[in-house]
Amino acid sequence: MAEQAHSFDKNYWDDVWHGDRAMAMAAGQPNPHLIREIGNLAPGTALDAGCGAGIEATWLAARGWEVTAADISADALARAGDRATATGVADRVRWVEADLSTWEPDARYDLVTTHYAHPAMPQLEFYDRIASWVAPGGTLFIVGHLQHGSHGDGSAHGHGHGDHSPPESASATAGAITARLDSASWDVSTARESQRTMVGPDGKELTIHDVVVKAVLRQ
Ligand SMILES: C[S@@+](CC[C@H](N)C(=O)[O-])C[C@H]1O[C@@H](n2cnc3c(N)ncnc32)[C@H](O)[C@@H]1O
Protein backbone atom coordinates (compact mmCIF):
# COMPACT_ATOMS: atom_id res chain seq x y z
CA MET A 1 0.00 0.00 0.00
CA ALA A 2 1.30 3.46 -0.83
CA GLU A 3 2.29 5.70 2.04
CA GLN A 4 0.08 8.68 2.78
CA ALA A 5 1.42 12.03 1.65
CA HIS A 6 3.59 13.60 4.32
CA SER A 7 6.88 15.37 4.54
CA PHE A 8 10.00 13.22 4.73
CA ASP A 9 11.42 15.59 7.31
CA LYS A 10 13.60 14.97 10.36
CA ASN A 11 10.61 14.04 12.53
CA TYR A 12 9.53 11.42 10.02
CA TRP A 13 12.99 9.84 9.84
CA ASP A 14 13.52 10.03 13.61
CA ASP A 15 10.24 8.13 14.02
CA VAL A 16 11.33 5.54 11.46
CA TRP A 17 14.64 4.98 13.22
CA HIS A 18 12.84 4.72 16.61
CA GLY A 19 10.17 2.43 15.26
CA ASP A 20 9.52 -1.19 14.26
CA ARG A 21 11.20 -0.89 10.86
CA ALA A 22 14.54 0.16 12.28
CA MET A 23 15.71 -3.32 13.21
CA ALA A 24 14.98 -4.66 9.74
CA MET A 25 16.54 -1.63 8.06
CA ALA A 26 19.71 -2.14 10.07
CA ALA A 27 19.90 -5.84 9.31
CA GLY A 28 19.98 -5.79 5.52
CA GLN A 29 22.75 -6.70 3.13
CA PRO A 30 24.80 -4.14 1.18
CA ASN A 31 22.90 -2.91 -1.84
CA PRO A 32 23.44 -5.35 -4.74
CA HIS A 33 23.63 -2.52 -7.27
CA LEU A 34 26.46 -0.93 -5.29
CA ILE A 35 28.34 -4.22 -5.14
CA ARG A 36 27.91 -4.78 -8.85
CA GLU A 37 28.70 -1.28 -10.09
CA ILE A 38 31.24 0.03 -7.59
CA GLY A 39 32.92 -3.18 -6.44
CA ASN A 40 35.71 -2.85 -9.03
CA LEU A 41 36.25 0.90 -8.67
CA ALA A 42 39.61 1.93 -7.17
CA PRO A 43 38.93 3.36 -3.72
CA GLY A 44 39.30 7.02 -2.82
CA THR A 45 37.07 9.34 -0.85
CA ALA A 46 33.35 8.60 -0.74
CA LEU A 47 30.21 10.24 0.55
CA ASP A 48 27.17 8.09 1.38
CA ALA A 49 24.22 10.49 1.43
CA GLY A 50 21.46 9.24 3.73
CA CYS A 51 23.53 6.33 4.99
CA GLY A 52 20.93 4.97 7.43
CA ALA A 53 22.40 2.18 9.52
CA GLY A 54 25.67 2.32 7.60
CA ILE A 55 25.46 -0.95 5.69
CA GLU A 56 26.83 0.50 2.45
CA ALA A 57 29.24 2.92 4.18
CA THR A 58 30.76 0.03 6.10
CA TRP A 59 30.98 -2.06 2.95
CA LEU A 60 32.81 0.75 1.16
CA ALA A 61 35.18 1.30 4.09
CA ALA A 62 36.00 -2.41 4.16
CA ARG A 63 37.07 -2.04 0.52
CA GLY A 64 39.48 0.78 1.29
CA TRP A 65 37.30 3.85 0.75
CA GLU A 66 37.68 6.81 3.12
CA VAL A 67 33.99 7.33 3.78
CA THR A 68 31.96 10.29 4.94
CA ALA A 69 28.53 8.94 5.83
CA ALA A 70 25.76 11.44 6.49
CA ASP A 71 22.26 11.06 7.82
CA ILE A 72 19.62 13.27 9.41
CA SER A 73 18.92 10.70 12.14
CA ALA A 74 21.18 10.37 15.18
CA ASP A 75 19.68 6.94 15.92
CA ALA A 76 20.59 5.69 12.46
CA LEU A 77 24.13 6.96 12.90
CA ALA A 78 24.45 5.28 16.29
CA ARG A 79 23.55 1.96 14.69
CA ALA A 80 25.91 2.71 11.83
CA GLY A 81 28.79 3.47 14.17
CA ASP A 82 28.26 0.18 15.99
CA ARG A 83 28.33 -1.69 12.70
CA ALA A 84 31.57 -0.03 11.58
CA THR A 85 33.20 -0.78 14.92
CA ALA A 86 32.09 -4.41 14.79
CA THR A 87 33.45 -4.68 11.26
CA GLY A 88 36.78 -3.12 12.24
CA VAL A 89 36.54 -0.16 9.86
CA ALA A 90 35.55 2.62 12.26
CA ASP A 91 38.75 4.51 11.50
CA ARG A 92 37.78 4.83 7.84
CA VAL A 93 34.32 6.33 8.33
CA ARG A 94 33.42 9.84 9.42
CA TRP A 95 29.79 10.04 10.55
CA VAL A 96 27.99 13.32 9.95
CA GLU A 97 24.59 14.11 11.45
CA ALA A 98 23.18 16.61 8.98
CA ASP A 99 20.21 17.60 6.90
CA LEU A 100 21.58 17.10 3.41
CA SER A 101 19.06 19.52 1.94
CA THR A 102 21.05 22.35 3.56
CA TRP A 103 24.43 20.85 4.56
CA GLU A 104 27.47 21.75 2.49
CA PRO A 105 30.51 19.48 2.43
CA ASP A 106 33.97 20.93 2.93
CA ALA A 107 35.40 18.80 0.11
CA ARG A 108 34.46 17.10 -3.14
CA TYR A 109 34.44 13.28 -3.29
CA ASP A 110 35.72 10.61 -5.67
CA LEU A 111 32.40 8.84 -5.15
CA VAL A 112 29.07 10.27 -4.08
CA THR A 113 26.48 7.59 -3.55
CA THR A 114 22.96 7.40 -2.20
CA HIS A 115 20.60 4.49 -1.69
CA TYR A 116 16.92 5.33 -1.35
CA ALA A 117 17.45 8.58 0.53
CA HIS A 118 14.36 10.69 0.07
CA PRO A 119 14.42 13.94 1.99
CA ALA A 120 11.74 16.58 2.33
CA MET A 121 13.06 18.47 -0.70
CA PRO A 122 12.11 17.47 -4.29
CA GLN A 123 13.84 14.20 -5.17
CA LEU A 124 15.48 15.36 -8.40
CA GLU A 125 16.75 18.52 -6.71
CA PHE A 126 18.30 16.33 -4.03
CA TYR A 127 20.11 14.41 -6.77
CA ASP A 128 21.26 17.74 -8.29
CA ARG A 129 22.67 18.70 -4.91
CA ILE A 130 24.65 15.54 -4.31
CA ALA A 131 25.88 15.55 -7.92
CA SER A 132 27.50 18.93 -7.22
CA TRP A 133 29.64 17.25 -4.53
CA VAL A 134 31.46 14.93 -6.96
CA ALA A 135 35.12 15.77 -7.61
CA PRO A 136 36.33 16.07 -11.21
CA GLY A 137 36.93 12.53 -12.46
CA GLY A 138 34.71 11.19 -9.68
CA THR A 139 31.60 9.05 -9.81
CA LEU A 140 27.99 9.74 -8.94
CA PHE A 141 26.06 6.60 -8.04
CA ILE A 142 22.35 6.79 -7.35
CA VAL A 143 20.07 3.93 -6.31
CA GLY A 144 16.53 5.14 -5.79
CA HIS A 145 12.92 4.22 -5.77
CA LEU A 146 11.55 3.79 -9.28
CA GLN A 147 8.56 5.99 -9.97
CA HIS A 148 5.17 4.26 -9.58
CA GLY A 149 3.99 4.98 -13.09
CA SER A 150 7.01 3.12 -14.44
CA HIS A 151 5.57 -0.25 -13.49
CA GLY A 152 2.18 0.11 -11.81
CA ASP A 153 1.84 -3.50 -10.72
CA GLY A 154 1.24 -2.60 -7.11
CA SER A 155 4.28 -4.36 -5.79
CA ALA A 156 6.66 -2.85 -3.27
CA HIS A 157 9.34 -0.32 -4.06
CA GLY A 158 12.70 0.44 -2.75
CA HIS A 159 14.89 -0.77 -0.02
CA GLY A 160 12.84 -3.76 0.94
CA HIS A 161 12.83 -2.89 4.60
CA GLY A 162 9.05 -3.02 4.80
CA ASP A 163 6.02 -3.42 2.61
CA HIS A 164 5.40 0.29 2.11
CA SER A 165 5.70 2.07 -1.19
CA PRO A 166 6.95 5.65 -1.22
CA PRO A 167 4.85 8.24 -2.99
CA GLU A 168 5.72 9.60 -6.42
CA SER A 169 7.49 12.57 -4.89
CA ALA A 170 10.14 10.25 -3.43
CA SER A 171 10.66 8.36 -6.68
CA ALA A 172 12.27 8.97 -10.04
CA THR A 173 12.95 7.43 -13.42
CA ALA A 174 16.36 6.87 -14.97
CA GLY A 175 15.51 9.31 -17.75
CA ALA A 176 14.48 12.05 -15.34
CA ILE A 177 17.73 11.73 -13.41
CA THR A 178 20.05 11.60 -16.41
CA ALA A 179 18.24 14.49 -18.10
CA ARG A 180 19.61 16.72 -15.35
CA LEU A 181 23.22 15.59 -15.85
CA ASP A 182 24.68 17.97 -18.44
CA SER A 183 26.23 15.79 -21.15
CA ALA A 184 29.05 18.32 -21.54
CA SER A 185 30.17 17.46 -18.01
CA TRP A 186 28.96 13.92 -17.31
CA ASP A 187 29.53 10.52 -18.86
CA VAL A 188 26.56 8.36 -17.94
CA SER A 189 27.50 4.67 -17.95
CA THR A 190 24.43 3.22 -16.25
CA ALA A 191 20.81 4.35 -16.43
CA ARG A 192 18.79 1.33 -15.46
CA GLU A 193 15.32 0.57 -14.14
CA SER A 194 15.13 -2.88 -12.69
CA GLN A 195 13.32 -5.12 -10.32
CA ARG A 196 14.57 -7.69 -7.88
CA THR A 197 13.09 -9.86 -5.21
CA MET A 198 14.11 -10.19 -1.63
CA VAL A 199 12.70 -11.60 1.57
CA GLY A 200 11.15 -8.86 3.71
CA PRO A 201 11.28 -8.60 7.50
CA ASP A 202 8.04 -10.61 7.76
CA GLY A 203 9.59 -13.49 5.79
CA LYS A 204 7.49 -12.75 2.70
CA GLU A 205 9.05 -12.19 -0.71
CA LEU A 206 9.02 -8.60 -1.96
CA THR A 207 9.49 -7.28 -5.47
CA ILE A 208 11.68 -4.20 -5.39
CA HIS A 209 11.66 -1.62 -8.20
CA ASP A 210 14.85 0.35 -8.47
CA VAL A 211 16.32 3.13 -10.54
CA VAL A 212 20.12 3.02 -10.86
CA VAL A 213 22.28 5.76 -12.35
CA LYS A 214 26.07 5.88 -12.54
CA ALA A 215 27.91 8.80 -14.09
CA VAL A 216 31.47 10.13 -14.09
CA LEU A 217 32.20 13.85 -13.92
CA ARG A 218 34.72 14.74 -16.61
CA GLN A 219 38.06 16.18 -15.44
C1 LIG B 1 15.07 4.71 3.13
S2 LIG B 1 16.38 5.11 4.21
C3 LIG B 1 17.76 4.35 3.38
C4 LIG B 1 18.93 4.13 4.29
C5 LIG B 1 20.12 3.41 3.63
N6 LIG B 1 20.74 4.26 2.62
C7 LIG B 1 19.69 2.10 3.05
O8 LIG B 1 19.68 1.94 1.83
O9 LIG B 1 19.37 1.20 3.84
C10 LIG B 1 16.65 6.84 3.86
C11 LIG B 1 17.69 7.46 4.75
O12 LIG B 1 17.87 8.83 4.39
C13 LIG B 1 17.96 9.60 5.56
N14 LIG B 1 17.54 10.97 5.24
C15 LIG B 1 16.32 11.39 4.86
N16 LIG B 1 16.29 12.71 4.67
C17 LIG B 1 17.54 13.16 4.94
C18 LIG B 1 18.15 14.44 4.91
N19 LIG B 1 17.45 15.54 4.59
N20 LIG B 1 19.45 14.54 5.24
C21 LIG B 1 20.15 13.43 5.58
N22 LIG B 1 19.64 12.19 5.61
C23 LIG B 1 18.34 12.04 5.29
C24 LIG B 1 17.02 8.91 6.53
O25 LIG B 1 17.26 9.21 7.89
C26 LIG B 1 17.28 7.45 6.21
O27 LIG B 1 18.30 6.92 7.01
Can you give the pLDDT at residue 5? 61
Task: Tell me, using a 6 A CB cutoff, whether residue 71 lines ligand 1.
Answer: yes
3-class DSSP assignment, residue 77? helix
Q: Which of 58, 73, 113, 129 to mutate to test the pocket of ligand 1 (most atoms within 8 A of CB)?
A: 73
Any alpha helices (H) in 72-195, and if so which ranges? 74-87, 123-131, 174-178
- CA of 71 from ligand 1 middle (Å) equals 6
- CA of 127 from ligand 1 middle (Å) equals 13
**pLDDT tens, the chain, 219 aa long:** 444 567 899 999 999 998 878 888 888 899 999 999 999 999 999 999 999 999 999 999 999 999 999 999 999 999 999 999 999 999 999 999 999 999 999 999 999 999 999 999 999 999 999 999 999 999 999 999 999 765 444 344 344 444 456 778 899 999 999 999 999 999 999 999 999 988 876 778 889 999 999 999 999
Rounded to the nearest 10°, the torsion over CA 75, 80, 82, 88 is -170
Task: Tell me, using a 6 A CB cutoff, whether residue 78 lines ligand 1.
Answer: no
Q: Which of 72, 121, 145, 161 to mutate to test the pocket of ligand 1 (most atoms within 8 A of CB)?
A: 72
Q: Which atom of ligand 1 is nearest to the CA of 143?
A: 8
Classify domain 10-217 by CATH number: 3.40.50.150
Q: In what helix (H) or strand (E) does residue 9 lie, and over which residues does it extend?
A: none
According to DSSP, the residues that pair with 196 across neighbouring strands are: 208
129 touches 178 (CB < 8 A): no
Domain definitions of the chain by residue range: 10-217
Task: Tell me, using a 6 A CB cutoff, whether residue 52 lines ligand 1.
Answer: yes
CA dihedral sign, ordered 210, 26, 46, 126: positive
- CA of 184 from ligand 1 middle (Å) equals 30
- Nearest CA residue ID for atom 17, ligand 1: 119
Can you give the pLDDT at residue 164? 52
- CA of 49 from ligand 1 middle (Å) equals 7
Task: Tell me, using a 6 A CB cutoff, whether residue 115 lines ligand 1.
Answer: yes
Can you give the pLDDT at residue 2? 45
Task: Tell me, using a 6 A CB cutoff, whether residue 50 lines ligand 1.
Answer: yes
What is each CA distance from 210 to 27, 55, 189, in whole angstroms? 19, 18, 16
